[in-house]
Structure 1
Amino acid sequence: MSDNALEGIMDFKLQAVGPFLHWLTLIILCIMPVVIAYVIYRLGRLPGAIARARNHPQADAINICGWMGLITLVLWPLALVWAYLAPSESLTGGAAKADDKTLLARLHEARQRLAAVEGRLPQQRTGS
């Protein structure tokens, strides 16, 4: 080898930074798995947390769907959308927001209406 080639190798400017770069790489390799695990944990519980915060009646199912969605990659967006959807009255029977007094008042009103309808019906004879 010629002297010019050796001088080119000796003039490597980042040689002094080499030990720092080794330690930086080691730190990154130790911290990145922890950060990735934390991000996966937060993403897995996000749909369930949103559903619980919104008092969704199917929050447990949404939570399971969110965790399973991390494996399948299809269920997670569905769980997120499901967490934001308000359940319709047909699912809850309309009783999710009503208290007992309101339900009793509606039952009493229905009984009165039924009695009025029965009063208007003609009397049928059972004998021949």
Structure 2
Amino acid sequence: MSLIDIFAWIVLIVLAATLVAIVVALGTMPGRIARKRGHPWPEAVTVGSWATLVFGFVFWPLVLIWAYVDVPERRGTPR
């Protein structure tokens, strides 16, 4: 193996580790935001985030928006 081959393997390993770190960060971000903001269903936001990342990333922005949305409390029965 030449020095170029070793350098190429090192670059490949660093890129793979970076990709894994980015996916983990994106998977946990909406859940952490929901917990920090006191969302009523932070576990559901976390599961939704991981599910959308596994199945194609299409709805992940919607889960991120859901992490910021607070459900208003009921004020009682209307008169």
TM, length-normalised to structure 2: 0.80
Q: Which amino acid in structure 1 is aligned with residue 34 of structure 2?
A: A
Following superposition, the deviation at residue 74 of structure 1 comes to 2.3
Aligned to 2:65: 81
Larger radius of gyration: 1
Following superposition, the deviation at residue 73 of structure 1 comes to 1.7
Kept in 1: contact 2:40–2:70 (CA 8 A)? no
Aligned length: 74
Q: Which runs of 5 or more structure 1 residues have no equivalent in the other structure?
A: 1-18, 96-128
Identity %: 32
Q: Which runs of 5 or more structure 2 residues have no equivalent in the other structure?
A: none
Kept in 1: contact 2:27–2:49 (CA 8 A)? yes
2:45 to 30, 52, 62: 62
The higher-RCO structure (CA 8 Å, 6+ apart) is 2
Aligned-pair Cα RMSD in Å? 1.7
Structure 1 runs of 4+ aligned residues shifted over 4 Å read none
